[in-house]
Amino acid sequence: MRVSILGAITGIALFASASAMAQQDNSSTMQMNAEQPADAGMATEKDGFKQANAEMMSEMGGVPMTGNADVDFASLMIPHHRGAAAMAKVELSFGKDQQIRKVAEDIIAKQGEEISFLQNWLQANAGASSKDAKAGEAEAFKAANAGMMSEMDAIPLSGNADVDLARLMIPHHRGAAAMAKVELEYGKDPVIRKVAEEIIAMQGEEISFLETWLKANSQ
């Protein structure tokens, strides 16, 4: 039932300037970053991750809760997935580890596909009723969201894009799984419940992979 990705993923521009390159001659780390493509205005990988995280948190915090768990879950997962894709683009601009770059590529493709699917589902279910809403649904989503945001905010960025993406995506994925569990507790639509089940399974697998990678690549 998945639909094709709507629109093209924004291309990644090259970050380079004569003055910046002159300054970077004195820093091997900065030289490494300059050789990687970066979005316009993204001076460092830290800037990119911080911007992606802040935009995701702002957008998710602005999603109005309707009382219909299926609608609310779909509405929350769209900016959540956008945040994952934005962070993955930072990795592709600055990261070097082939395994983590592959994770980033997969995130952009899969999350983009699911964003399109959820947008289409929301359009088709715009009049979904919230008359049978259960008490606590909105609070449960907000708690899951707040927990994810708090954990991501607490992660110190190292300046190594591969390590930072892996560290950030673990609580990000946990947040998705937590919201998916709220959907399974309160939601009724079989299509959206299936999305939630898939999220719990896939995000759990990727969390395990990232944790293992971090242990093998700890600095």
Please say whether the beta carbons of 106 and 205 come within 8 A: no
Q: Tokens 């004569």 identify what position?
A: 18
Who contacts 169 (Cβ-Cβ below 8 Å, separation ≥6)? 84, 87, 103, 107, 206, 210
Task: Select from 207, 138, 211 the least CA-distant residue to 175.
Answer: 207
Task: Select from 141, 149, 165, 80 the least CA-distant residue to 115.
Answer: 80
Q: Per residue in 125-158, pLDDT tens?
A: 977 666 666 678 899 999 999 999 999 999 999 9
Mean pLDDT of all residues in 186-208: 96
Is 60 exceeded by the pLDDT of residue 4?
A: no
Q: Per residue in 22-69, pLDDT tens?
A: 333 333 333 333 333 444 445 789 999 999 999 999 999 999 998 899
> What is the Cα–Cα distance from 114 to 137, expressed in whole angstroms?
23
Give me the pLDDT at residue 132, please. Answer: 60
Question: Which has more pLDDT, 14 or 180?
Answer: 180
Give me the pLDDT at residue 41, please. Answer: 46
Measured N-to-C along each axis, helices 137-153 and 161-186 cross at an angle, to the nearest 10 degrees, of: 170
- 3 state SS of 63: coil
pLDDT band at 176 (very low <50, low <70, confident <90, very high): very high
CATH code 1.20.1260.10 region(s) in the chain: 44-216
User: Exposed (0-12), middle (13-18) or buried (19+): which is 215, by Cβ within 10 Å?
Assistant: exposed
Is 70 exceeded by the pLDDT of residue 21?
A: no
The tokens for 218 are 């700890």
pTM value > 0.75: yes
Give me the pLDDT at residue 130, please. Answer: 64
Task: Select from 84, 39, 41, 36 the least CA-distant residue to 60.
Answer: 84
Give me the pLDDT at residue 129, please. Answer: 63
The tokens for 54 are 């802040």
Write down the mean pLDDT value for the chain: 82
Neighbours of 19 (CB within 10 A): 7
Mean pLDDT of all residues in 107-136: 86
**How far apart, in Å, are the Cα atoms of 69 and each of 65, 66, 108?**
8, 8, 26
Class of domain 44-216: mainly alpha
